[in-house]
Amino acid sequence: MPAGDPRSLSLKTLDVLSAFSTDRARLTLSELSRASGLSLTTTHRIVSDLVGWGALEHSARGGYQVGLRLWEIASLAPRGLPLRELALPAMEDLYEATHENVQLAVREGLEVVYVERLTGRGAVRVLTRVGGRFSLHSTGVGLVLLAHAPDEVQEEVLAGPLRRWTDRTITDPARLRATLAEIRQTGVAISDRQVTDDALSVACPVRDRSDAVVAALSVVMHADGASARAAAPAVRAASRSISRALGHPGAQRRPSGLPG
């Protein structure tokens, strides 16, 4: 970072914290300096303050890792732990009914953020993790959240680029627009081998007391022999149960013409 950097210390501190990721969970001071674009002196001062407050910890293997104090603060986010606690009973019921991956996600900007996942020993491999982010246009939960996102968010995603994960990933804006309209009409999103070649997901929206879509729930299963039509009623019922816990007034009413 050039001398005379006008950014505040708060933004520089966030740059340091943003250097950590799934693949970079433990970083040295030099690595933090390079990743954040800050000088070693500035990085050292910020890291010392973060360690003192508990946002970072010294790793037993050397370097630094995210501290429990930061996790404690993050867990207070209303779309995180509180939503997860309300959703877990319905998610557990859905898992017992399917023995497949069950995922709960919210939208943050142009990405999906996963707040909870239940998985079994024989469930299909997925690329997602709790706290992880993914693109909106390819996963079942992402398609649900994108279909109900504000128009400006949809247009920004449709303007691309739309990353291709497999040969089945929807990367044509016109086709994606039509898919989103269908999801709004049916209340179900199906992502068939759009992220990996062996997985299919079925997702439904979760609504709050104001009828806003605040999350999406999905089952992710092996594509070979999987029936999205058979899984949809169970996912829909579970999403209605979570919506009911969030105070949605129509969660107990079954949509006309839809099973389950």
Per-residue pLDDT at 163: 92
Polymer length in residues for the chain: 260
In this structure, are residues 35 and 4 in contact, taking their beta carbons and an 8 Å threshold? no
DSSP labels, 181-230? HHHHHHS-EEEESSSSTTEEEEEEEEE-TTS-EEEEEEEEEESTT--HHH
Domain 9-74 part of CATH 1.10.3720.10: no
In this structure, are residues 225 and 104 in contact, taking their beta carbons and an 8 Å threshold? no
Per-residue pLDDT at 68: 80
Domain limits, the chain: 9-74, 81-245
User: Model confidence over 30-54: pLDDT tens digits?
Assistant: 999 999 999 999 999 999 999 999 8
Per-residue pLDDT at 253: 47
Residue numbers of the chain with a pLDDT score lower than 50: 1-2, 253-260
> What does the alpha-carbon distance between residue 217 and residue 219 come to, in Å, rounded to a whole number?
7
Q: Report which DSSP code applies to 65.
A: E
For residue 190, give the amino acid letter.
I
Per-residue pLDDT at 126: 78
> What does the alpha-carbon distance between residue 153 and residue 161 come to, in Å, rounded to a whole number?
14
Superfamily of domain 81-245: GAF domain (3.30.450.40)
Phi, psi of 51, deg, nearest 5: -65, -45
Domain 9-74 matches domain 81-245 at the CATH topology level:
no
Q: Decide the pairing of beta strands 64-66 and 199-207.
A: unpaired
